[in-house]
Amino acid sequence: MRLAHMTWPQAGEYFKKNDIILLSVGSIECHGKHLPLGTDTLIPEKLLDLIEPLTDVAIAPIIPFGACDSQTDYPGTVSLGLDTLYDVFTKLTQGYRAHGVRRFVVLNGHGGNIPVLDRVALDLQRQGCMLAEMNWWLMAWDLNPAWKGGHGGAEETAGILAVDPKLVDWDSVEDMVLKPVSDEIEAAGFKTVRYKGVEIPLVRPVTDISDNGWIGPDHPKNATVEWGTDMLDACAKYIADFMEAFRRAPLPERK
């Protein structure tokens, strides 16, 4: 049930009977040379399509931009930044709160958005509301450890294959080569380096870490349509089931 498709009287009837809404947010950023810039938005959009027939929770329009400052050197990548995204989510959640919403479920497609969602969730909790974060790629790891992946790797490539196989440019798939900080300090991941066997955070622009922009243990060449289809179906069913349990959970006391 898409909120954008409702008339305002229909929305009014919904909010009289329901205090829950499904929001979503993605990002427009590099995901390697082989995946579209909209990967973090296209996969949540596909999940919303799968979730809709499984629930009567109102689904708000997705926010296609997120916080991805470390990737803005790649052409086409645009970041709202943490502060702007926080302002946007605060306005949205307070707007829905004025209509009676107390339970917010957020389908998130991008890890860089998590600090904002955490902050908004704390704000809402203090107002007698709750916000649950559905970070689909992390959820997928718990549902099936074989689906675990990195940024632009096989997990996300499989997800895009489930959206539209034509969006994957197989001719542009390359091996991952991470750039070290020095002869002694090697790159370990998206935000970490390794020194003498210990992994520590060292945040750098992604262009200083990877030439092609994908980072993770799962090579994109291993992705399949079947993997992506099974994974997104499982995530959609889980989210729909969770929302029913979330409806029954007691709300925090207003402070």
pLDDT of residue 139: 96
Residue at 182 is within a domain: no
Residue at 231 is within a domain: yes
Q: Is the pLDDT of residue 255 over 90?
A: no
CA 109 to CA 148: how far, in whole Å? Answer: 15
CA 213 to CA 190: how far, in whole Å? Answer: 10
The whole-number average pLDDT for the span 37-60 is: 98
Say which CATH number the domain at 23 has.
3.40.50.10310
Residue at 154 is within a domain: no
The whole-number average pLDDT for the span 133-160 is: 96
Number of domains making up the chain: 1
- Tokens (6 digits) for 44: 């949540």
Residue at 60 is within a domain: yes
The whole-number average pLDDT for the span 208-227 is: 94
Residue at 76 is within a domain: yes
Q: Is the pLDDT of residue 254 over 80?
A: no
End-to-end CA distance of the chain: 32
pLDDT of residue 113: 97
pLDDT digits (tens, 9 = 90+) for 179-191: 999 999 999 988 8
pLDDT digits (tens, 9 = 90+) for 90-124: 999 999 999 999 999 999 999 999 999 999 999 99
DSSP string, 115-159: HHHHHHHHHHHTTT-EEEEEEHHHHHHHH-GGG---BTSHHHHHH
CA 147 to CA 194: how far, in whole Å? Answer: 25
- Tokens (6 digits) for 231: 């994974």
Give the DSSP letter of residue 28: B
Residue at 142 is within a domain: yes
Predicted TM-score (pTM) of this structure: 0.94
Report the amino acid identity of residue 61.
P
Q: What is the CA radius of gyration of the chain?
A: 19
Across the chain, mean pLDDT equals: 96
Residue at 183 is within a domain: no
What CA–CA distances, in Å, run from 156 to 31, 67, 147, 203, 230? Answer: 9, 18, 9, 22, 13
Number of H helices, E strands in the chain: 7, 7
Give the DSSP letter of residue 164: -
Residue at 113 is within a domain: yes
Structural domain including 7 reads 3-149+224-248
